[in-house]
Structure 1
């Protein structure tokens, strides 16, 4: 399609289209996240969470206002942290009641339009209303300086004139539709050129109207997504303050909305207290501490707390309030790490069994990773049988090892050696597997080091044994630390206030006897 100087392309295009787009289903906060927000909101059962001031009675209006504030906060957060955020059309389930009702209503409308147009003489009441809606849609795509296009649309789609032509039997719908399609081609994104061409091949008026509205919906989403991408840089600058402000408003209405956060940070402090002499970095050591024992620092406790999120029992334990919007992302990272742990363990066992012959063999590690990853697909589903999958992995790995050894002039594994390797791979299913625990501890150590040095551009050195999975581990680490740093940026004032009280108590406790939470 040729370029048109009046074709909108500014970043100001249709910010109001975002409002239309929000009515569609999108990658923005889904219902499951909202459900978790409701479940973790004050008033939900909390078991052994810390006690706080009881919530005051609130009105329906206050609840609605709070819900709107939370929704807006989640939407802004989603746009910032999700670089692939896009508004998408709502897709109702195939056999759902909503879809059946919608289809029936739409069919009735289009049948009515077709019946009117087949009358003698034709009745254009519905058709004129549709042209009015099309006119509004086309005008909504324009910017203030698109004067010529606005004048063209207003002149050709003059509803008063169209009504007069219809009353006098002089209305030519086909010419109006031809103008509409041409204008849509001028205003649409290049990605929609194919849809515009298809419109020109439809000659029956009712199917053509339906197709026009379908393409207009796509164009509105394109405008909304363009607006989202345009505001993202500005939103990133302001979103931390915006989220903090919205959370503060929520907290003022529900004072006990930091109970889970308090418990989460307390547990992290208790974990570090037990190992304070070994685990704390040197910059956190307080030479004036009693007995020369290091004092916990806020940064170390926060990092430990974020590491705990990677071992969270999502099915039985509510997520801390301040990280609730990112629960799905933290859970995805947790699942990725669990699969990577299996892959790393199988690789370490395989290389240990094969010796130096295969360690530096080009492409061998990638083949094993591919085999393991494919066979562990769905490992977090209830129906997944880990033992059977590991048995299959053992067979495949042994076959690949023998093939590579033979190709490079080495002696293949004996039956006894194959049996040992298969047994070691199947043993990975045990929670007490020593090698699995070793790999897991090194992965956690790497993530801990990256959190502690996240202000540096370079990644920390990968611990021994993790070389074959270094690329995957670093990709996960970058994603994880970016999420953590943004969360710290938003909620650090709350963490500092809570940890100030926790650490004051910790310093007054005898060494090795953390306060019971």
Structure 2
């Protein structure tokens, strides 16, 4: 959250400088991030040769003849990595992940509280100890106002910081508010009043609460109202600090929304430059990518999983979008299974049932709810649940129509058809997969254009869900292609030319 706050709190001039730096960064370097040295193209093939030429490593003085195999010893000399280099690589990866998240996630927002339960527990414990200590100091005779006064100055600093953020959005006539804060919360005057034991805490706290009420968003009015009901000094200061933290997050999220067009426009360049910084610090990290691509180039028909990548940076690069791709994969499976189930159910139900208004749409909505947590592991159980629901629905409809009879044989046939959808090669499932996949790929090819694609036959029942998953897939794939397309394209061209 701190990284987001540092970026979104910049002034417009600073943001323009950031954009210029991103665009001009590493202008003199090859865009692909690959060394132009002719030997670098043979990096993969020369790795084995360097290992063979490495000297054996003696285990001890008495065992000079017993050595480690060359393939265990590896290349020599060893490469050393400094702590600063590791920190720079970690920072570059974090920055790349943050900008990527803002660019591809339209609903990105900074949470009010940490998602880490351990972090929340530690923070709550430390805060509790701090406020309890302040209460003990104020209960002394005479009272010790040191912690309370220090907190009061922090409140002033945070209030001015919050005000400065708002000042960028308001007219110049609001400048007098800053002068008012400086005069009412003057450090020297407050310290003199504390030393002489004449500080009017109720009046001061009332002013601070009124000030925050003027600065915060309307959604925080309830917190302000509860704060006005407090009378204890410690409770008031604690509530004020909590409100300021929430206000800071609100303003940061507002700035993120306002700056989203700029971030989306320049995120690809920024992510690419951060990625090249990591590769520059350790060029050997590119070897896993070369090995992976080389296997594909040599045999394009051979399926190779991304899990084969062994480089830590490449793994972390894929980890940025792993959760999104897994979620899209689950939704993709859900649409395929649900559309196939609707089709086989309609075939078993007959024309009289299919002609019922909203039958297919209602059945689809119900099956979507049943398969909300579908995965490859629980597919059989979800198919069983889908059969139970479809069978009960058809039985109820048939009972309402005296001319129709839903027999045990019909029920068994429906179960056989639905449970067969567990097989990927089942004709109906395979057909729906190809049609949904073809539609998504066609939308990806024409991304950025205004051309419309016709929905394939049989998938119109999941039109809304298909549009949502396709939009998310196209957004994610297009951004990654824009960011790293040239890099991987250059790698493939050079591997094919070797």
Tell me, yes or no, whether TM beats 0.5. Answer: yes
Tell me, which stretches of 5 or more residues in structure 2 are unaligned? Answer: 1-5, 12-42, 48-74
Q: Which residue of 2 aligns with 1:88?
A: 111
Q: Which residue of 1 aligns with 2:239?
A: 211
Query: What is the Cα deviation at residue 399 of structure 1?
Result: 1.9
The 2-side partners of 1:162 and 1:176 are apart by: 10
Asked if residue 149 in structure 1 is aligned to residue 177 in structure 2, the reply is yes
Alpha-carbon distance change, 14 to 500 in structure 1, aligned in 2, over 3 angstroms: closer
Match of 1:246 among 240, 252, 274: 274
Alpha-carbon distance change, 79 to 343 in structure 1, aligned in 2, over 3 angstroms: same
Aligned length: 425
Asked if residue 197 in structure 1 is aligned to residue 225 in structure 2, the reply is yes
The 2-side partners of 1:349 and 1:51 are apart by: 53
Q: Which residue of 1 aligns with 2:31?
A: none
Alpha-carbon distance change, 102 to 488 in structure 1, aligned in 2, over 3 angstroms: closer
Match of 1:371 among 366, 390, 397: 366
With 312-321 and 467-476 compared, the bigger mean Cα shift is at 312-321
The 2-side partners of 1:204 and 1:67 are apart by: 45
Asked if residue 15 in structure 1 is aligned to residue 9 in structure 2, the reply is yes
Q: Which residue of 1 aligns with 2:337?
A: 342
Asked if residue 78 in structure 1 is aligned to residue 101 in structure 2, the reply is yes
Alpha-carbon distance change, 253 to 123 in structure 1, aligned in 2, over 3 angstroms: closer
Q: Which residue of 1 aligns with 2:475?
A: 482
Match of 2:88 among 65, 89, 92: 65
Alpha-carbon distance change, 171 to 154 in structure 1, aligned in 2, over 3 angstroms: same
The 2-side partners of 1:110 and 1:321 are apart by: 40
Match of 1:328 among 318, 323, 329: 323
Correspondence list, 1:119-268, <5 A: 119-143=140-164, 145=172, 146-259=174-287, 261-262=289-290
Alpha-carbon distance change, 355 to 498 in structure 1, aligned in 2, over 3 angstroms: farther
Contact 1:113 1:127 in 2 (8 A): yes
Q: Which residue of 2 aligns with 1:447?
A: 440
Alpha-carbon distance change, 442 to 260 in structure 1, aligned in 2, over 3 angstroms: farther
Query: What is the Cα deviation at residue 402 of structure 1?
Result: 3.3
Tell me, which stretches of 5 or more residues in structure 1 are unaligned? Answer: 1-11, 18-48, 275-307, 506-517
Correspondence list, 1:244-323, <5 A: 244-259=272-287, 261-262=289-290, 323=318
Query: What is the Cα deviation at residue 199 of structure 1?
Result: 0.5
Higher helix share: 2
1:279-324: per-residue Cα shift (whole Å, max 9, x none)? xxxxxxxxxxxxxxxxxxxxxxxxxxxxx99xx6769999777654
1:187-232: per-residue Cα shift (whole Å, max 9, x none)? 1112111111111011122112111111111011111112212221
Query: What is the Cα deviation at residue 266 of structure 1?
Result: 5.7
Question: How much is the aligned-residue C-alpha RMSD, in angstroms?
Answer: 3.3
Query: What is the Cα deviation at residue 377 of structure 1?
Result: 3.3
- Secondary structure of the structure 2 residue equivalent to 1:215: helix
Alpha-carbon distance change, 91 to 381 in structure 1, aligned in 2, over 3 angstroms: farther
Alpha-carbon distance change, 485 to 91 in structure 1, aligned in 2, over 3 angstroms: closer
Contact 1:13 1:227 in 2 (8 A): no
Alpha-carbon distance change, 434 to 77 in structure 1, aligned in 2, over 3 angstroms: same
1:19-68: per-residue Cα shift (whole Å, max 9, x none)? xxxxxxxxxxxxxxxxxxxxxxxxxxxxxx96676895432211211211
Asked if residue 112 in structure 1 is aligned to residue 105 in structure 2, the reply is no
Contact 1:14 1:141 in 2 (8 A): no
1:464-502: per-residue Cα shift (whole Å, max 9, x none)? 332222331222112111211111111121122123245
The 2-side partners of 1:14 and 1:462 are apart by: 41
Query: What is the Cα deviation at residue 354 of structure 1?
Result: 2.2
Q: Which residue of 1 aligns with 2:24?
A: none
Q: Which residue of 2 aligns with 1:511?
A: none
Q: Which residue of 2 aligns with 1:352?
A: 347
Alpha-carbon distance change, 257 to 340 in structure 1, aligned in 2, over 3 angstroms: farther
Query: What is the Cα deviation at residue 183 of structure 1?
Result: 0.5
Query: What is the Cα deviation at residue 349 of structure 1?
Result: 0.9
The 2-side partners of 1:194 and 1:52 are apart by: 68
TM-score (norm 2): 0.76
Alpha-carbon distance change, 100 to 315 in structure 1, aligned in 2, over 3 angstroms: farther
